[in-house]
Each structure stands twice: as structure tokens, then as C-alpha cells.
Amino acid sequence: MSLVTIILGAGKGTRMKSNIPKVLHKANGIPMISKIINQVKTLLPNKNIIVTGHGKEMVQDILKDDDSLIFVEQKEQLGTGHAVIEALKNLEDYNVDIIVLCGDIPLIRSQTLESLYSLHKTSDASITILTSIQDNPTGYGRIVKENNNVVAIIEEKEANAETKKIKEVNAGVYCFNGQNLKKSLEKINNNNEKKEYYLTDVVGIQVNENKLVKSFILEDKEEMLGVNSKIDLAVVSKILRERKNYDLMENGVIFIDPNNAYIEENVEIGIDTVIYPGVILEGNTKIGNNCKIIGNTRIIDSQILDEVSIESSVIEESLVENFVTIGPFAHLRAKSHLKEKVHIGNFVETKKSILEKGVKVGHLTYLGDSHVDENTNIGAGTITCNYDGKNKYETKIGKNVFIGSSTMLVAPVTIGDNAITGAGSVITKDVSENSLAVERSKQIILNNWRKLKK
């Protein structure tokens, strides 16, 4: 039987106190709904339906590149049962299994969903409910069983003293027989305080019809934690970071202190790379093997190859090749490309620049819109003057060039191979290869000037 997944993401999340739809808030670097979509994809569903409502345009914009998703709008917030009714309008055939889950439970694991679905199929249940054993079940819907089968879900406010002793609670993830679900949804009503249609009512309807309802108990009860506030968001993000760091260590990464490194969900790191405390790796960053990333370094959406050493630096949307050393206190801005054995030192900033193999830029330098060829040495205080207030211009520096300290290179300008610029020069014209370029005002010394002034 084929599988359809439905992710409920229509709620506003008023307790979040935010203009952003709740499911788009990031848990360890990615929107919660994206995390959940990634988990359900391991089930290979035939259809993956996203129910939107508040901020639907924002949700669809974030997920627009995923062609596997079907978006359904729940125009009125009339409860979880109503949301599923709207989603089912996209099915022509109800002879399917249907997994329903909320878009605000980013801790759910793909293995859990696979196990839930496996039990549903092997038990031939009409409904299989994900549950958890809680030491303090207050506030959760209790799972009432007879002969190990579920016979009711009783909410806290409706539970008597005996029912409140039950520790197995509803985790809010369900697997349904599609045909039975469709028939049951036609029978639910909104005769309740909130005038909403509840998906949990389907359980009572099917139990009364002698349908088999099973539960699958979570091994890790943290997985059912939902996000209803920014405090909850911080809690689940911390758990996801811990999972990420331990998974990386299992796969060969070395952490000096795994509790003090912030590695987002999509980051990849190779074996024997050492991560020091205070490191922040964000977005789609990829780090190679045998690298050393030292404290207060932040890397965003960048690729770092093998044997690279980075200390206390910021790298954004850049490519760093093998055996490069960076920092401390360097800043690689977008579209920087450092090739093999480049050295970038203290307080060096690059932007939209290519540094070829062996280039050395020791300190106090800005290279913007530049191409620096192999084995060139850039002296301290060098600046490429790439912007005239209206347009950006390129600086080209050849091979084996020595740029003297405090050289101003006024773009567009080209420095030929093996050329040298004198310290303190302002270079406004091209310098041919093997040449020395010096541009300085005549030095004037007025002897005894201070005594004469008095």
C-alpha cells in the first residue's frame, strides 16, 4: 500500500510572539518544517502534503524549491481534524496509508517514523498512534488501553483521578488506514468549547466500530517535544546541537568541548578535523579532513577542503582549498577563493577575490574584486581601492609580485609578474612585469622647526 504524509503547519503560534509563522522558526539552523520534511522523506511517501494557513506565502517561499511537496491552505483554523479534511481533498484514491504529524516537533527522528509505520503495517491496525511514557503526564492526553490495544485518548481536563495516573500519553503523530480515516472524518463534529474538529475524535469513532488501534511507544521521550514558545525553541535547538555534535564525533570529528561548539544541521565535517570551543558553523558549510578550527571562528555557507587551519576568523560564502592557513582575525567575505597553501593573517579582509597557490597576505590588508597570482607577497597595510563611489573595479596582480607595505592599488589596475611596489606608494597606473613602481611625495625636513616656531 502506498503512503501519504500530511504535515500540519497552519497555526499562527501566538505564544511565539512573532511575525514569522511558527513552523518557519529555525531549530539549530533550519526551519522546523524543513527538518520534519527531511525526516518523512526517508519513508519515501508517494505524496507529501503541507497544510498552510497563517503566513502561507512565507512558508511556500521557503519550500518553493522542493517539487515533491503539495501545499494545501486551511483558510479557517478549525482544528486538526479540519486540517486533515482539507489535505485529503488532494487524494483521488484513499486506499493508502496516511501519516499525520505537526510541523513543530523538530526532534522527531526518521527511525521513529519508520518504526511507527512498520508496526502499523505488520499489525494490520486501522490507526497506530505514537505515544510516550512520561513520569509527569500532566497536561497530555492519556492513552487508555485494553488487551494492549488503544480504546481511548482522554484529555487532561476530561480525565478522572484514575485516568490521570496513566503515564502513557499521546505524542500527536498518527498512522491511519486512508479509507477508514476518510469515513471517520465525515462523522466528527465540533461540539466542544473551541468549536473545532479534533483529529483525536477519529480514534473514539473507530474504537466504537471495533477497528484495531495500536500504539508505538517512543524510546526517547524528548522526540515528542513541541515548540510553542521561543523558550521551547531554545530547548529543542540545544538538543539538536547535542545530537549533531555527537553524530559528528561518531563519524570521526574531534571536539575539544562538544558542549561549546555550535554546528548547524546541514554542516558536514570530515574525519580528524578538530573543532575548538566557541566555533560556529552555519548553513551549508562543508569542512574537509584534518582541519583545525580554533575558537571564535564563524563559517557560513562555505567549503573548506583538507588540512586547513583557521583561527578566530569569519568566512562567508567562500571556497578555501587545501593547506591554507587563516587568521587570527581575518574576514573572508562572499566569493573569496583561496587556493592551495595561501596564508591569510591578522586583520586581513578579502571580498570577491581569487588568491592563487602560495599567496601570502600577512596582516592589515583589504583585497576586494581582485585576482592575485601564484606566490605573490602582499605587504602590511595594502588596500585595493576598488570602489569610486559608483562602480567597482578589478585589481590584477601577477605571479611572484612583492607589494610593499601601505601600497594603495587604485583599480582598475594591473601589476605584472615579478613586479615590486615601493612601500607607501599609490599605484594608479599599470605596472609592467619585472618593474619597480614607487610613487611618493618628496620628503621635506625643516630642521629645528619646533624651536623656530616658539
51 C-beta neighbours (distance < 10 Å), count: 26
Name residue, grid cell 517512543.
Answer: 218
Boundary (domain end) residue, out of 224, 250, 280: 224
Q: What is the pLDDT of residue 443?
A: 87
Exposure of 405 in the CB half-sphere (CA atoms within 13 A): 4
The reply to whether 452 falls in a domain is no
C-alpha–C-alpha distance, residues 411 and 52, integer Å: 51
Q: What is the mean pLDDT of each run of 10 residues along the chain (454 residues)?
A: 94 89 96 97 96 94 95 93 96 95 96 97 97 94 95 91 95 97 95 88 95 96 95 98 98 98 98 98 98 97 98 98 98 98 98 98 98 98 96 97 98 98 97 96 88 76
Q: What is the pLDDT of residue 441?
A: 87
Residue 365 β-bridge partners: 348
* Element at 397 (helix H, strand E): strand 395-397
The reply to whether 449 falls in a domain is no
289: exposed, middle or buried (C-beta count within 10 Å: 0-12, 13-18, 19+)? middle
398 C-beta neighbours (distance < 10 Å), count: 21
C-alpha–C-alpha distance, residues 411 and 440, integer Å: 18
Q: Are residues 92 and 121 in the same domain?
A: yes
Can you give the CATH number for the domain in which 108 is found?
Answer: 3.90.550.10
Q: Are residues 160 and 206 in the same domain?
A: yes
Name residue, grid cell 561549546.
Answer: 260
Q: Give how many domains the chain has, as a whole number.
A: 2
Q: Tell me which DSSP letter residue 418 carries.
A: T
Q: Are residues 160 and 254 in the same domain?
A: no
Boundary (domain end) residue, out of 202, 224, 246: 224
Query: CA dihedral in degrees (402, 407, 413, 414; nearest 10)?
Result: 0
Q: Considering 54, 120, 343, 363, which one is annotated as catalytic?
A: 363
Q: Are residues 104 and 200 in the same domain?
A: yes
Q: Measuring CA to CA, which residue among 62, 64, 65 is closest to residue 33? A: 62
Q: Are residues 132 and 65 in the same domain?
A: yes
Q: Are residues 101 and 193 in the same domain?
A: yes
The reply to whether 145 falls in a domain is yes
Residue-number span of the structural domain to which 205 is assigned: 3-224
Q: Are residues 131 and 277 in the same domain?
A: no
Backbone angles phi, psi at 350, to 5 degrees: -125, 150
Q: Are residues 103 and 51 in the same domain?
A: yes
Q: What is the pLDDT of residue 450?
A: 82
Q: What is the pLDDT of residue 284?
A: 97
The reply to whether 453 falls in a domain is no
Q: Are residues 100 and 212 in the same domain?
A: yes
The reply to whether 303 falls in a domain is yes
Q: Are residues 236 and 215 in the same domain?
A: no
Q: What is the pLDDT of residue 408?
A: 98
Is 363 annotated as catalytic?
Answer: yes
Please state the separation of Cα 282 from the chain's center in Å. 7
What cell does 161 get?
483521578
290 C-beta neighbours (distance < 10 Å), count: 15
The reply to whether 204 falls in a domain is yes
The reply to whether 168 falls in a domain is yes
Can you give the CATH number for the domain in which 347 is found?
Answer: 2.160.10.10
What cell does 148 get?
494492549
Beta-strand relationship, 149-154 and 142-146 = antiparallel
The SS3 assignment for 405 reads: coil
Q: Which residues of 304-318 are buried (b: 16+ CB within 10 A; e: fewer)?
A: bbbbbbbbbbbbbbb
Please state the separation of Cα 180 from the chain's center in Å. 38
The reply to whether 442 falls in a domain is no
Beta-strand relationship, 337-338 and 354-355 = parallel
Q: Are residues 90 and 21 in the same domain?
A: yes
Q: Are residues 104 and 247 in the same domain?
A: no
**Do residues 338 and 355 lie in contact, with contact meaning Cβ atoms separated by under 8 Å?**
yes
Count of positions (residues) in the chain: 454
